[in-house]
Structure 1
Amino acid sequence: MGLLLFETALDVFSLFLIMFLVGREKISVKGGAVKWLVVILIFCLFDHTQFNSADSSSVNAVLLRDFEILPVQSIPGLIGLLFLTLLMNSFVLKASHVEIIFVTMLGYIIWLLIRLFTVATIDLLTISQLVIRPLSFLLTICFYWLVTKRFLVYIRNDFNEFVKLMIVSVFGFLLYIILSSRNQNGLMIHPVFIEFVVLIVLAMLGWIFYEQKRAQVMENRMKATEKYIPIIDELVAEVRSRQHEFSNKLLAISSILQSTEDMKVAREQVSKYVENVQLTNGQQELLNMDHKVIAGFLYTKMKRVEQLKMELHIERSVSVSAFPCEDYDLIEVLGILIDNAIEACYGGDTILIRMMQLNDRYELTVSNPAGYMTNEQFMQLFKLRYSTKSTHSNGRGFGLYNVQQIAKQYSGKIITRNEQKNGQMITIGIQF
């Protein structure tokens, strides 16, 4: 009985890791994770008991069973497990009810692929069947770690219609393969064929995730364009609306020069008029910027800074389009860095944005007045959930951590340094 509990627990925990990975939900003992594990584990143990209830030596029947791919022992148990997993996912994972169905199917696809590969490999190498579940569990942990570190960005909940169709098709196909393989004497289908099927399905999933990521990129580009292009048009309209004012000022300046004989007085009066009609450094930079989406985004930040009685300066020596990253990622990095700088500043302070090229690398940094920081303090800022603000505030401590993840995505590195420029400043950014 102890072996049964151990093996079932390995199956359930493997399935648990995959479901939370696909659902992109953080595992926490304070949430519904423990309930999910307990409910599914109890159901699987119950199904094993029901399956062997007709046998007087039920424990021996469990220990001596042949190849088992599923964590349950009967068709009704399989149906019940699918529906119960769907129900628990709907309570624990954050997605719509329709999306939960496809998240659950995708989770089972990945779990079944790992199990099929394990069973077929063990059958080919003629290893003891007792190794199936421990090896499956180890492969699941490796897969969880790999996806979390490298490929989590390719998994999302709001699948498009094509991906949904492919998930349903692959799920049905795998169930057919598994149900056809169940036999008391081993696998009815040759293990080599099963491993070939696993590789084909993995290739299909990789292609599906790639297409999903490409669709996500296009969608994010459209959203950024629709949101920020009209904003830069507002800046252009604002400048155009001041053209009439400029004309009047020019006439006034001409009148001053003609009517004033004292050149010193004339200079003072002309300076007053010119001071009121000049565009700010930021406005001139945004109008000259080669990327309207980024310019529109920066214009919104500039307006916010003005409301807080601060200044936002932009120093740019390279084209914005030269940065090797997507528009929405560049916007997220800028937004996080500028917002952090604003929260660290007071009225009258100046925030400096720099875009430059150093050798073959492109550097984007944001600087703001602050006290000297050590390397350990800089490193602390990028830890998940760490925040210099109130620890009671929800949603804190994700900003700079997300910047770090974006840097990793593009093989970039984080820039942090102390600077002496018009006083003590700290600089944080990314080098692509």
Structure 2
Amino acid sequence: MIIVLLLAWLAYRYIPLRKVYEAISRWNILMLLVIINSFLVLFMVVMYARLKTEHFISNYLIIVGIMLILIIENVGEVYHYFKQKEQQKCVQVYEEYLPIIEGLIEQVRIRQHDYHNKLQSIHALAYVCEDFESLKGALLKTTEHDMLPDFEMNLLKLNMHLVSGFLFSKIRQADKEEKELHLDIEQYVIRTTCTEYEVIECLGILIDNAIEATNEGGTILAKIGSQDDKLVFEIKNVGPHLTPEFCKNIFKKGYSTKKNDVSNHGIGLYKLNRTVKEHEGKLTLENAEVNQTEYISFGLRI
């Protein structure tokens, strides 16, 4: 006991305990659980050995039982920790993209009001036009613009509403940068083993890279769908001819073709590749020719 007191005094006197405490506080819950449970196991074993020295070895089953209880409690805490972390990510994504969905719905409501006015004008054509040919011409002219695909409405048909809001925000981002992100929706029911926030993270990496690599006035071609219970996404942007060395290194951590601010680049595609492998998906990279122009094409199946 004297030795223990001496060691405690030396630790208090010479070790910056406050900094140690602050460092432990910054660690994740797993490290804290290991420290706490290790202390509890050692404390209980030492106390039992001191109180019942002669029965310590013969009652090893009690010690093993205590350790098993602590391990089970540990596993439960770890499970709840990761589950809570996943729920927090979902909440963050909902908070970020639900307002965009509400904006989409509001735009649809405004268009519904406009369509009501246009229906009234079409109804009036029957009284204004005197013959069939003039009525036909007036109808074609009036409805020509309205027959164009309603992109916002198509986005709302996706079963993954947060992904709809995310894609809408990226299209608007490209538009602000004077670039066009053209998206084709091949299936409206997307099936995947990933959560919506994981889908958004994967699509975000590919779309952000394509927008950044495209010059003003350029066009990015993308399509999304589902096949064999997997999300299928493809995105193309104008780019150089791919070399074997580039294809080999592009998914490595820290590799980047961007020269400015290298510290923030080379992580996205590495994370994407890791996520795809975790979900037993597929990520492809190849050249594609569009209107006699060479494009870089990323294919995602997850």
Which of 129, 133, 142 does residue 259 from structure 1 map onto?
129
Structure 1 unpaired stretches of 5+: 1-50, 52-71, 94-99, 113-167
Give aligned-pair identity as a percent.
Answer: 25
Between structures 1 and 2, the one with greater strand share = 2
- 8 Å Cα contact 2:98-2:165 kept in structure 1: yes
Establish whether residue 345 from structure 1 lines up as the match of residue 214 from structure 2. Answer: yes
Q: CA deviation at 1:327?
A: 1.3
Please show how residues 25-424 of structure 1 align to structure 2 within 5 Å.
75-76=7-8, 84=16, 87=19, 90=22, 100-101=24-25, 103=27, 106-107=30-31, 110=34, 168=36, 170-177=37-44, 190=57, 200-253=69-122, 258-259=128-129, 263=133, 267=137, 273-274=142-143, 276-277=145-146, 280=149, 282-309=151-178, 310-317=180-187, 319-320=189-190, 322-346=191-215, 347-357=217-227, 359=228, 361-422=230-291, 423-424=293-294
**1:420 is paired with a residue of what secondary structure?**
strand
Q: CA deviation at 1:404?
A: 1.7
Q: Deviations over 1:319-365 (max 9, x none)?
A: 22x111111111111111111111112324133132231x5644333
Whole-Å Cα distance in 2 between the matches of residues 77 and 343 of structure 1? Answer: 59
Distance 1:254 1:364, change over 3 A: same
* 1:403 counterpart letter in structure 2: L
Q: Deviations over 1:19-73 (max 9, x none)?
A: xxxxxxxxxxxxxxxxxxxxxxxxxxxxxxxx8xxxxxxxxxxxxxxxxxxxx99
**1:340 is paired with a residue of what secondary structure?**
helix
**1:353 is paired with a residue of what secondary structure?**
strand
Q: Deviations over 1:199-239 (max 9, x none)?
A: 55444333221111111222222232233223212112112
Q: CA deviation at 1:385?
A: 2.2
Whole-Å Cα distance in 1 between the matches of residues 14 and 154 of structure 2? Answer: 58
Whole-Å Cα distance in 1 between the matches of residues 133 and 10 of structure 2? Answer: 95
Distance 1:198 1:294, change over 3 A: same
TM-score normalised per structure 1: 0.55
Residue range with higher mean Cα deviation, 276-285 or 236-245 = 276-285
* Number of positions where the alignment pairs a residue of Structure 1 with one of Structure 2: 290
Q: CA deviation at 1:374?
A: 3.5
Q: CA deviation at 1:250?
A: 4.0
- 8 Å Cα contact 1:106-1:171 kept in structure 2: no
Q: CA deviation at 1:281?
A: 5.3
- 8 Å Cα contact 1:231-1:300 kept in structure 2: yes
Whole-Å Cα distance in 2 between the matches of residues 409 and 81 of structure 1? Answer: 48
Whole-Å Cα distance in 2 between the matches of residues 82 and 107 of structure 1? Answer: 24
Q: CA deviation at 1:375?
A: 4.5
Whole-Å Cα distance in 2 between the matches of residues 291 and 302 of structure 1? Answer: 17
Whole-Å Cα distance in 1 between the matches of residues 71 and 10 of structure 2? Answer: 23
- 8 Å Cα contact 1:285-1:314 kept in structure 2: no
TM-score normalised per structure 2: 0.76
Whole-Å Cα distance in 1 between the matches of residues 158 and 73 of structure 2? Answer: 42
**1:414 is paired with a residue of what secondary structure?**
strand
Q: CA deviation at 1:84?
A: 4.3
Whole-Å Cα distance in 2 between the matches of residues 376 and 181 of structure 1? Answer: 63
Q: CA RMSD in A?
A: 4.0
- 8 Å Cα contact 2:125-2:135 kept in structure 1: no
Q: CA deviation at 1:391?
A: 4.2
Q: CA deviation at 1:89?
A: 7.5
Q: Deviations over 1:279-325 (max 9, x none)?
A: 645323212112222111211112112223313213332622x1111
Q: CA deviation at 1:277?
A: 4.0
Establish whether residue 427 from structure 1 lines up as the match of residue 294 from structure 2. Answer: no
* 2:31 counterpart letter in structure 1: G
Whole-Å Cα distance in 1 between the matches of residues 13 and 289 of structure 2? Answer: 63
Structure 2 unpaired stretches of 5+: none
Distance 1:291 1:380, change over 3 A: same
* 2:97 counterpart letter in structure 1: Y
